[in-house]
Amino acid sequence: MRFRPLRSPSRRTLFRTSAGVAAAAALVTLAGCTSMLVVDPAEDAADPDCALPMLLMPDELNELQQRTTSSQGTTAWGEPASVIVRCGVAPPAPTTDPCVNVDGVDWVQVRADEDTWQFVTYGRTPAVEVLVTPTEVSGATALASVSSAVSDIEQTAECVSVEDAEQVDGEAPAGA
């Protein structure tokens, strides 16, 4: 009977093993500190014009800490999340929905119920959506906190009052 000497593991094998152990340990450590919020990305979240605004979002909003989210073009604050931002949503068409200008950025209030308020930028592509839990953060505070970051997306249209809007062939006013 013949015996073959055992070969010691190659450096490559040792490196892969130690790298895998280190990565697993890092994930366990990070998981213990904070939980990642799963947020569905907007359709155009990969638009390059979303990158800078997302990087410029504040670390803190109304004393709520920014959270790690699962998708590109998204961020959130609070645990549970009280404010969620998604870049790359479909821009709203001209509408008579309420619109407010905050620090040079027009926001259309698309939907509001007692649990969530939804605001979307008007006249900017890609559009940015802000979802707010009004019992935790006011819509005005959330929009004031993120408007400066969003202002880097070029403005191509603006909200106008219903009185100033021209009716064209029975269509809705251009951004009421």
137 against 25, higher pLDDT: 137
Question: Contact, 86 vs 74, CB < 8 A?
Answer: yes
How far is it, in rounded angstroms, from Cα 15 to Cα 164? 68
Q: What is the mean pLDDT of the chain?
A: 82
3-state secondary structure of 30: helix
Quick: pLDDT tens for 67-102.
999 999 999 999 999 999 999 999 999 999 999 999
103 against 31, higher pLDDT: 103
The pLDDT value given to residue 8: 47
The pLDDT value given to residue 127: 98
Question: Contact, 71 vs 80, CB < 8 A?
Answer: no
The pLDDT value given to residue 26: 39
Q: What is the mean pLDDT of residues 118-140?
A: 97
The pLDDT value given to residue 35: 85
- Backbone region of residue 62 per phi and psi (left: phi > 0; alpha: psi in -120 to 50; beta: other values): left
124 against 12, higher pLDDT: 124
Q: What is the mean pLDDT of residues 19-32?
A: 39
Q: What is the mean pLDDT of residues 126-148?
A: 97
Q: What is the mean pLDDT of residues 49-54?
A: 97
Q: What percent of the chain has pLDDT over 90?
A: 67
CB contact set of 11 (below 8 Å; sequence gap of 6+): none
Q: What percent of the chain has pLDDT over 70?
A: 73
Among residues 38, 127, 49, 41, the alpha carbon closest in space to that of 80 is found at: 38
Q: What is the mean pLDDT of residues 8-12?
A: 46
DSSP symbol at 45:
T
